[in-house]
Amino acid sequence: MPFELTRDYIDQLKELINGKEDTAALEMISELHPADIAEIFSELETEESIYLYNLLDSEVSADVLVELPEDEREEFFRSMPGEMIARRVIDNMESDDAADLLGELSEEKQEEVLQSIEDVEQAGDIADLLSYDEDTAGGLMAKELIKVYEDWDVARCITEIRRQSEEVYEFYYVYVVDKDDILIGTVTLKKIIIARSTTRIRNIVDTDLISVRTDTPSEEVANIMKKYDLVSLPVIDTIGRLVGRITIDDVVDVIKEEAEKDYQMISGITEDVEHSDNVFLLTRARLPWLIIGLTGGILGSRVISMHESELRISPEMALFFPLIGAMGGNAGVQSSSIVVQGIAAGTIDLQGISGKLMKELSVAFINGLILSGLLFIYNLLFSDSFALTITVSIALFSVILFASVFGTFVPLILHKFNVDPALATGPFITTTNDIIGLSIYLAVGRLMYGII
């Protein structure tokens, strides 16, 4: 059963902590998952959380820290000396998780913790990982893996797997390398078990494998693992040497972070922010797109003022300004969102741009025809002006066509120039289509009222 956190539970736990009843407090959380304990910590005062944290087993306490939100984790680290972080946290983590946590600290604190790690090899692995960009395969990978050499026999291979597995929490592949540590392929446990003890690994290795380099962008890593349904992916350096592996749990984090970033961009937020961030940071993240929206509104008003004469002839045209703007914005956002989703999933590229544009144009044509037809019927029934009926219907059809093509084209162009295509959705598309939609509407109005 999933753990359900209640107010009574927190009050009881607080009472035990304040009364220094360590055994009873520990019993209340000893059977819980680290994620549940982290949720409890979020409901306690910082001093209470630290007190309870120090009661936990070292391995459990490390897992709890990983589950904590970043701002709460910072509170813990500020109150802990480097030696304690090394002993209670870093020593009980795989290298990638340890590097992620240390990456949140200042350089001085990082150095203090690394110098406090007793295992020099472990400290070196973490230091290596910290040198990679966090948005690359090198920043995602862990150093812990199972590696055997092609010239070993199966008997030695089994011995080495037993020894190396002590340092690996879980593994999915046994990687095979040559004498220079160049990655050759993988060998399954089944092949190792059924092969004769004298069989050389080179005779049972599977060389058909997928790998990435340390500088491969994390988003590309996620797409590769998703496309080929991988649970683990080897990482090599520029000359092909095996340096680490990326597991599916790390890629899930990447996918989540990218989704959150894209959602914020679609919403018109230019930075990665949380609700707990300070007012200045939240304002700075939101203000740029609001200024763009304000600029778009001003330009829209200028477009309207340029067609003042038409509005004098038929002031009822103004009644449909909100409809034209909203429909253009909605059509554009729909098209751009589908394209951005396809780019993120790796199913759309620039080679298929003409086909994609034609497909969106066909969809827009059908949608525009249906919607403008419905609007035409509405105006025939409730409007006294046939010129207005024709004007609004033609304008709506034209705006939907333009907005759909524009919403498809812009994210593809941004992607070509290595700009996040999520910028093309939300406020950008809406503001642009508002201005152009009004221009189209008023231009059609001028044409129609000049003829009819």
What pLDDT, on a 0 to 100 scale, did the predictor assign at position 264? 57
Secondary structure (3-state) at 205: coil
280's CB contacts (< 8 A; 6+ apart) are: none
Q: What is the DSSP string of 35-58?
A: HHHHHHHHHS-HHHHHHHHTTS-H
CATH of 279-451, one of 3.30.470.20, 3.40.50.300, 2.40.50.140, 1.10.357.20: 1.10.357.20
What pLDDT, on a 0 to 100 scale, did the predictor assign at position 452? 42
What pLDDT, on a 0 to 100 scale, did the predictor assign at position 41? 87
Q: Which helix (H) or strand (E) holds 249?
A: helix 248-266
Indicate the angle between helix axes 321-345 and 386-416, nearest 10 degrees: 30
175 DSSP β-pair partners: 147, 186
What pLDDT, on a 0 to 100 scale, did the predictor assign at position 43? 87
What pLDDT, on a 0 to 100 scale, did the predictor assign at position 397? 93
Cβ proximity of 209 and 186 under 8 Å: yes
What pLDDT, on a 0 to 100 scale, did the predictor assign at position 166? 83
Note the CATH architecture for domain 7-140.
Answer: Alpha Horseshoe (1.25)
What class does CATH assign to 147-257?
Answer: alpha beta
What pLDDT, on a 0 to 100 scale, did the predictor assign at position 167? 81
What pLDDT, on a 0 to 100 scale, did the predictor assign at position 332? 81
- For the chain, what are the domain ranges? 7-140, 147-257, 279-451
What pLDDT, on a 0 to 100 scale, did the predictor assign at position 366? 93
Joined together, the tokens standing for residue 113 give 């913790």
Strand order in the sheet with 183-187: 147-149, 174-177, 183-187
Q: Say what the pTM is.
A: 0.63
Q: Do the domains spanning 7-140 and 279-451 agree at the CATH topology level?
A: no
417's CB contacts (< 8 A; 6+ apart) are: none
Q: Could you read off the pLDDT tens digit of each residue along the chain, which spans 452 residues?
A: 677 888 899 999 999 998 989 889 888 988 888 889 989 988 888 888 888 888 888 778 888 888 888 777 877 777 778 888 888 788 878 888 888 888 888 888 888 888 888 888 888 889 899 989 988 999 999 999 999 999 999 999 999 999 998 888 788 889 999 999 999 999 998 999 999 999 999 999 999 999 999 999 988 898 898 888 888 999 999 999 999 999 888 888 787 777 666 655 555 555 555 555 567 766 766 677 677 777 877 887 787 777 676 666 677 788 888 888 888 888 887 887 777 777 766 666 656 566 767 887 888 899 999 999 999 999 888 888 888 888 899 999 999 998 888 888 878 777 777 766 666 566 677 778 788 888 888 888 878 766 44
